[in-house]
Amino acid sequence: MDETQIASLLKSSDLFPLPQSLKLSYGTAGFRGDATLLASTVHRVGILSSLRSLKLAPSTIGLMITASHNKVSDNGVKVSDPSGEMLSQEWEPFADQIANASSPQKLVSLIREFVEREEISIGDGGEGGEVWLGRDSRPSGEALLRAAEIGVSSVPGCVAVDLGVLTTPQLHWMVRAKNKGLKATEKAYFESLTTSFKCLIDLIPFNKSSGSKLVLDGANGVGGEKMEELLRGYLSNLAIEIRNTGRDGGVLNESVGADFVQKEKVVPLGFGVNDVGVRCVSFDGDADRLVYFYLSSGEKKIELLDGDKILSLFALFVKEQLNVLDDGCCRLGVVQTAYANGASTDYLKGLGLEVVFAKTGVKHLHEKAAEFDVGIYFEANGHGTILFSEDYVTLLVDKRKGLSEGSDECNAVSRLVAVSNLINQAVGDAISGLLLVEVVLRHMGWSVQKWNELYKDLPSRQVKVEVPDRTAVVTTSEETEALRPLGIQDAINGEIKKYRRGRAFIRPSGTEDVVRVYAEATTQEDADSLGDSVAQLVKSFLGSS
């Protein structure tokens, strides 16, 4: 880096001083926190995004301003790699370092060292860098996006492209499309979803119906707004009633949205006794998660169809198509975390599916799912997708050429290809997920109640135990068993044996000195008891703070 380049970085960094005592860590969700404290962080991630683009030139990088399901006063920033996937984990330590650099001079020193180590060429007449910026509908988003823009532009040869208000999955999809040389506009995103959705609807036998209307809880966020655009301009014949759009004074993620519904298991604001039996769905604030639900009575309690149920529905549908092909050339896999309800795992294994576990966090599930020809992953919170390897999609397209149009085999191939285009290959996407759920329910001729009968969730309990040092707990890569402290897993196993269909595990938090306990059993009383006894084991082995 020459003096001009250093001066450019110093000048822009002086505009965004680091707030005192701010300490952030880049995780699956990027950086998140109080929006009023994040300008320096977002600015620095803008610099990082430019460096990433130059490192991988000629590739476009994505930068999204969002705090997803967090409260409206929060915001955050995350980076999309050229594939549309999350920022490479190899760059996360650098993100932490520059976000927490105490001064512009320290920041530039870290950048200079990193640029030399990674051999990144800046402003030498080679390929320039390009960063696409998006933001959700939070009031703080526009100012933070300007900070990101200044950060990107402070790296000579790099340009920022403001794409405006988007869902997080839209930005990831567009970055992926851009780097694949495809049309990469919001219009192209909507058209891709529309074309594949209509193809799947046309392939449904006997024009089956999935029953009642669908009502969407938009979490007062960007997802409801974008769903309205899709219905207005592309799928006008799809009957969806949208509530909690944010226009009626509702607050983003406040007693609404997928995170609230999944955790509290009660109806969001705007839903009540008149919705008994109606098929309902909730997005989170930036529309990368969804959960379905329905009221079985006039009370606030709901029947929840979470990410595990969505995964099971998708797996059943994909397996049905593969069974028609019966050529044995596709390796289908399902990826879950240890938090997946044991009843869902038993159901999936009962279908004859290969079920594997990954560490908590969608970046770990995504990586594992990519090892299959078709890999399906969902967390219980409703974040997930289906990954199709490019080689397998090419094989399907070639195979279709030799099949008789209208035959069962041809229809199965066409469905799989359409699913690969409908479902977001880059990241969990509530809009594309909703469309696929609606297609599959109609294909099966199922109501939401019939879908819910696939299996009955085992009662579960989660406990958080404060400890002096969470790093004393070391688990297997799947987080299903504890390797340290020595003896604790044997003690946990001893407790598990006391309960019918008992299962429990512990894992250290990634951000605070607590150990998380998960337990399940055939009754809620047993799940509570098992959770409490394992929590006591954690305290006795590690002490409590």
HEC letters along 509-543: CCCCCEEEEEEECCCHHHHHHHHHHHHHHHHHHHC
**pLDDT on residue 220:** 98
Stretch 342-356: mean pLDDT, rounded?
97
HEC letters along 224-269: HHHHHHHHHHCCCCCCEEEECCCCCCCCCCCCCCHHHHHHHCECCC
HEC letters along 276-293: ECCEEEEECCCCCCEEEE
Stretch 436-451: mean pLDDT, rounded?
96
Statement: residue 210 has pLDDT above 60: no
**pLDDT on residue 42:** 98
Residue 21 bears catalytic tag: no
DSSP 128: P
Prior bond of 156 cis (ω within 30°):
no
Per the annotation, binding residues for substrate are 379-381, 507-511, 516
Statement: residue 209 has pLDDT above 60: no
Stretch 225-243: mean pLDDT, rounded?
95
**pLDDT on residue 81:** 97
Q: Please write the tens of the pLDDT for every residue from 85-114.
A: 999 999 999 999 999 999 999 999 999 999
Per the annotation, binding residues for Mg(2+) are 68, 284, 286, 288
* For helices 408-422 and 390-401, angle between their N-to-C axes, nearest 10 degrees: 150
Asked if residues 333 and 375 have their Cβ atoms less than 8 Å apart, the reply is yes
**pLDDT on residue 545:** 61
435-to-5, 41, 339, 439 alpha-carbon distances in Å = 47, 35, 26, 6
Which segment of 26-30, 257-261, 334-338, 396-400 scores lowest on mean pLDDT? 26-30
* For helices 524-542 and 488-496, angle between their N-to-C axes, nearest 10 degrees: 160
Of 8, 53, 59, 68, which is the active-site residue? Answer: 68
pLDDT band at 127 (very low <50, low <70, confident <90, very high): confident
Stretch 301-324: mean pLDDT, rounded?
97
128-to-83, 87, 153, 235, 522 alpha-carbon distances in Å = 18, 19, 11, 39, 59
Q: Please write the tens of the pLDDT for every residue from 364-376.
A: 999 999 999 999 9
How far is it, in rounded angstroms, from Cα 526 to Cα 541?
23
How far is it, in rounded angstroms, from Cα 101 to Cα 98?
5
Given CATH 3.40.120, say whether it is the number of domain 200-303.
yes
**pLDDT on residue 533:** 97
**pLDDT on residue 459:** 95
| pTM for the structure as a whole | 0.95
Statement: residue 327 has pLDDT above 80: no
170-to-233, 302, 340 alpha-carbon distances in Å = 16, 30, 27
Mean pLDDT value across the chain: 94
Stretch 226-255: mean pLDDT, rounded?
94
**pLDDT on residue 208:** 58
**pLDDT on residue 237:** 83
How far is it, in rounded angstroms, from Cα 95 to Cα 345?
36
**pLDDT on residue 301:** 86
**pLDDT on residue 46:** 98
Prior bond of 485 cis (ω within 30°):
yes
The tokens for 257 are 């949205």
How do strand 129-135 and strand 60-65 relate by DSSP bridges?
parallel
Closest CA to 259 of 296, 297, 223: 223
CATH code of 307-429, in short, is 3.40.120.10
Asked if residues 340 and 298 have their Cβ atoms less than 8 Å apart, the reply is no
The CATH fold of domain 3-165: Alpha-D-Glucose-1,6-Bisphosphate; Chain A, domain 3 (3.40.120)
Domain 200-303 shares a fold with domain 460-542: no
**pLDDT on residue 29:** 80
Statement: residue 403 has pLDDT above 60: yes
Stretch 289-293: mean pLDDT, rounded?
98
Residue ranges covered by each domain of the chain: 3-165, 200-303, 307-429, 460-542
**pLDDT on residue 136:** 97
- 327 or 423, higher pLDDT: 423
Statement: residue 396 has pLDDT above 70: yes
Statement: residue 22 has pLDDT above 90: no
Percent of the chain with pLDDT over 70: 98
**pLDDT on residue 298:** 78
- Three-state DSSP at 350 gives helix
The tokens for 37 are 């404290």
The tokens for 308 are 């595990």
Could you tell me which residues come within 8 angstroms of residue 299 by beta carbon, excluding any fewer than 6 positions away? none
**pLDDT on residue 112:** 95
**pLDDT on residue 445:** 93
**pLDDT on residue 125:** 59
Given CATH 3.40.50.720, say whether it is the number of domain 460-542.
no
